[in-house]
Amino acid sequence: MTDRQIRFLLNDRDVVIGDLRPEDLLLDYLRLNAGLPGTKEGCAEGDCGACTVLVGRMKSGKLTYDPVNACIRFLGSLNACHVVTVEHLAGSAGSLHPVQQAMVDNHGSQCGFCTPGIVMSLYKLWMDNSKPSDAEIETALQGNLCRCTGYESVMRAARAMGKTGSVSRDKLVRERKATSAKLRSLASRRTIEIGKGSDRIYVPGDAGDLAAILKKEPKATIVAGSTDAGLWVTKHFRGIGPAIFIGHLDDLAKIKAADGVLRIGATASYTDAAGALARHFPNFGPLINRIGGAQIRAMGTIGGNIANGSPIGDMPPPLIALGASVTLRSSKRSRTMELEKFFVEYGKQDRRKGEFVESVSIPLLNKSVYKISKRNDEDITSALVAIRMRLGREDMVDSIRIACGGMAATPKRANAVEAALRGKPWNENSINAAMDAFAEDFSPLTDMRASAEYRMLVVKNLLRRFYLETQDAGSPSSLSSYVAA
Ligand SMILES: Cc1cc2nc3c(=O)[nH]c(=O)nc-3n(C[C@H](O)[C@H](O)[C@H](O)COP(=O)(O)OP(=O)(O)OC[C@H]3O[C@@H](n4cnc5c(N)ncnc54)[C@H](O)[C@@H]3O)c2cc1C
Ligand code: FES
Ligand code: FES
């Protein structure tokens, strides 16, 4: 038995859709079908935040609202969700929401194009924490660009929003119980299947259903957070059907530290995984905070970053340096391999017919990772170096793994650099020799992000920086970080 409809809650209305294509996007639906033009389209690629809405869903039994870029969120992924747009913030007789009032009082808007998106990001922050610090406000707004007001008045509004109204009186907060019950009733335990041929969409009930669908449709596009796949549609005008939407699968989102490994399910988002990753590997905290903005981190998954196989994906190099393994599953079996072996060549991963990425497992050790990009926030990597090292007696390098992003067609180990350091004393001379060895490992490209010469220079200097940091007990890479956890 299958269901043939997507059912979700949009503000306070029930939506049932039985006719949709894999490429149909939430933003178009809101503006063109639902008569809700408050949500704006700026970039259509997840960068500017003008299209920010909240999407609530039951995650491990708890109703959780995430900020989401509606421009790259597929309609087919919304079953049993609560979509909240800026129109829903209006109070009785059209009064302003406390967050909107704070924006008005503090002159937080000029042309107004970015404002609904900024209001929605601040609304999410206000619900969780109505008196945020400046750092928390900046993190919440990383994914919202404003070209005319400037950010100072928006910051003032965010600082003031705790005084303009009470969170407990907010509609979403008051209706939590009823909304949770409603979303539970909308969830389908069966696979939802709509459409025919390449216009078909599937929404599996669990990971077992996903395996069964992939057996039948091995060429279907798996879509998790759609932060890569969404752009294939909005920027490259590609079809993605038949498509299988998996972002809601809780059984693939589990995160657990046990038996010396941290296991992260493929559909865990960056936001979901950030706490556990940063707890066990402190350097992951700042790295994850530099992946997109809050919207991208709430949507994008760790499994998607691995499965996509991009040479500038930020997760693979540190995971490879840590000796992580990836588990793939099909309807017949599961298999686990070293993550570095998963990346075969540019655009080709070792994923067989009918398989999906189930999880990644990381041995519990500490390490260091450096990301270089043109801007600190909301920017894709130019070059990334991740290092895991263990020193033995008399500061001899016992073991070392170095993995780089942006330096080759796949995320790749720096084998020659590792060999130049292994068994050598951890000192200036060894570092100088190892820096030269980068040229044996990599011939990077020149592209719009960086020149080949820059990339080579920067990875060499990051190795030197790592060495210098290990000489300073107060630095992020001080030697104590390398003790097994
Ligand atoms: C504005 C913006 C900023 C970004 N910034 C960064 C950044 O700083 N660093 C970075 O690394 N990335 C960045 N990205 C890219 C993207 O967010 C990540 O690669 C993300 O992890 C992809 O995950 P997803 O769940 O959204 O994947 P999706 O888009 O859903 O899927 C990506 C690919 O993986 C496949 N896939 C997904 N899940 C599975 C699975 N379980 N099994 C098999 N195949 C699967 C899909 O079929 C598809 O080929 C950014 C993207 C945007 C739009
Ligand atoms: S329109 Fe720019 S992030 Fe969606
Ligand atoms: S107010 Fe004009 S873009 Fe922000």
Give the CA distances from residue 52 to residues 57, 75, 152, 311, 368, in Å, rounded to whole numbers and listed in that order. Answer: 16, 15, 20, 28, 33
Contact, 306 vs 343, CB < 8 A? no
Q: Which of 112, 134, 169 is the last residue of a domain?
A: 169
- Does 113 contact ligand 3 (Cβ within 6 A)? yes
Contact 27 CB / ligand 1 (< 6 Å): no
Residue 305 lies in a domain: no
Separation CA 174–CA 270 (nearest Å) = 28
**Number of Cβ within a 10 Å radius of residue 470:** 21
Nearest ligand (C-alpha, residue 119): 3
Q: Is the CB of 47 under 6 A from ligand 1?
A: yes
Q: What's the DSSP call for residue 483?
A: S
With 0.85 as the threshold, say if the pTM is over it.
yes
* Domain end position, chosen among 120, 142, 169: 169
What's the rounded mean pLDDT across residues 90-96? 88
12 contacts 64 by C-beta, under 8 angstroms: no
Residue 134 and residue 38 share a domain: no
Answer whether 56's CB lies under 8 Å from 183's CB.
yes
Identify whether 115 is part of a domain.
yes
The pLDDT of residue 189: 79
- Res. 57: pLDDT tops 60: yes
Distance 56 CA to ligand 2 centre (A): 19
Ligand index nearest the alpha carbon of residue 352: 1
Residue 199 lies in a domain: yes
pLDDT at 485: 28
104 plus 237 within the same structural domain: no
Ligand 1 nearest-atom number relative to CA 351: 43
Q: Is 439 in the same domain as 473? A: yes
Say if ligand 2 is within 6 A of residue 47 CB: yes
Instruction: Say if 363 falls within a structural domain.
Output: no
User: Mutation test of ligand 1: which of 210, 271, 291 has the most ligand atoms closer than 8 Å to its C-beta?
Assistant: 291
pLDDT at residue number 393:
80
- Same-domain check for residues 115 and 33: no
For the CA of 110, the nearest ligand: 3
- State the distance between the two ends of the chain, measured CA to CA, in whole angstroms: 48
Torsion of CA 415, 304, 202, 212, to 10 degrees: 40
Q: Which of 228, 245, 262 is the last residue of a domain?
A: 245
Question: Do 25 and 156 belong together in one domain?
Answer: no
Domain shared by 16 and 144, yes or no:
no
Q: What is the pLDDT of residues 437-470, one digit of tens each?
A: 999 999 999 998 899 999 999 999 999 999 988 8
Whether 384 and 471 share a structural domain? yes
Which residues form the domain of 469? 372-482
Q: Please identify which residue in the block is written with the tokens 């922050």.
A: 125
Residue 477 pLDDT > 90, yes or no?
no
Q: How far apart are CA 70 and CA 54, in angstroms?
A: 9
254 part of a folded domain: no
User: Around Cβ 479, how many Cβ atoms within 10 Å?
Assistant: 16
Do 474 and 410 lie in a common domain? yes
* Closest to 408 (Cα-Cα) out of 381, 435, 390: 381
SS (H, E, C) 399-462: EEEEEEECCCCCCEECHHHHHHHCCCECCHHHHHHHHHHHHHHCCCCCCCCCCHHHHHHHHHHH
- For residues 22 and 165, state if they share a domain: no
In a domain, 319, yes or no: no
Separation between Cα atoms, residue 417 and residue 310, nearest integer Å: 22
Structural tokens at position 234: 């909005």
- Atom 19 of ligand 1, residue of closest alpha carbon: 305
The residues pairing with 264 across neighbouring beta strands, listed in sequence order, are 255, 360
Buried b (16+ CB within 10 A) or exposed e, 111-142: eebbbbbbbbbbbbbbeeebebeeeebebbbb
pLDDT exceeds 50 at position 400 = yes
Does residue 206 fall inside a structural domain? yes
Residues 231 and 188 in one domain: yes
Q: Give mean pLDDT, residues 379-392.
A: 85
Judged by its nearest atom, the ligand closest to the C-alpha of residue 25 is 2
Q: Answer yes or no: do 154 and 63 share one domain.
A: no
121 three-state secondary structure:
helix
How many CB atoms within 10 Å of residue 286? 14
Nearest-angstrom CA–CA distance, 366 and 484: 7
Residues 473, 327: Cα–Cα separation, whole Å: 37
* Whether 449 contacts 406, CB under 8 Å: yes
Q: What is the CATH number of the domain that holds 160?
A: 1.10.150.120
Listed residue (78, 185, 179, 79) closest to 127, CA to CA: 179
148 lines ligand 3 (CB under 6 A): yes
Atom 4 (ligand 3) nearest CA: 146
Q: Is the CB of 227 under 6 A from ligand 1?
A: yes
The average pLDDT across 14-27 equals 97
Q: Which is the closest atom of ligand 3 to the Cα of 109? A: 1
Q: Do 324 and 361 contact (CB within 8 A), yes or no?
A: yes
Please give the pLDDT value at position 350. 96
Q: Give pLDDT tens digits for 254-282.
A: 999 888 789 999 999 999 999 999 888 88
pLDDT of residue 334: 96
Q: How many helices (H) and strands (E) does the chain have?
A: 18, 20
Position 114 in a domain: yes
Exposed/middle/buried for residue 358 (C-beta within 10 Å: 0-12, 13-18, 19+): buried
- Give how many domains the chain has, as a whole number: 3
Q: Give the separation between CA 186 and CA 469, rounded to whole angstroms.
A: 53
Amino acid 425 reads: P
Residue given tokens 């008005």 in the structure block: 104
Please check the confidence at residue 143 and state whether its pLDDT lies above 50: yes
Identity of residue 426: W
CATH of residue 466's domain is 3.30.390.50
For residues 442 and 470, membership in a common domain is answered with yes
Task: Report which of 402, 392, 382, 415 is spatially closest to residue 465, judged by C-alpha positions.
Answer: 402
How many whole angstroms from 46 Cα to the centroid of ligand 2?
A: 5
Query: CB of 354 closer than 6 A to ligand 1?
Result: no
Q: What is the CA radius of gyration of the chain?
A: 23
The structure tokens listed for 393 are 């007696």
Average pLDDT over residues 341-367: 91
Report whether residue 149 contacts ligand 3, using a CB cutoff of 6 Å: yes
Cis peptide bond upstream of 444, omega within 30: no
Q: Could you tell me if the CB of 84 is within 6 A of ligand 1?
A: no
CB–CB of 133/97 below 8 Å?
no
| Of 326 and 484, more confident | 326
> CATH code at 38?
3.10.20.30
Question: What element of type H or E holds 152?
Answer: helix 152-160
User: 110 with 85: CB under 8 angstroms?
Assistant: no
Contacts of 480 (CB under 8 A, 6+ apart): 473
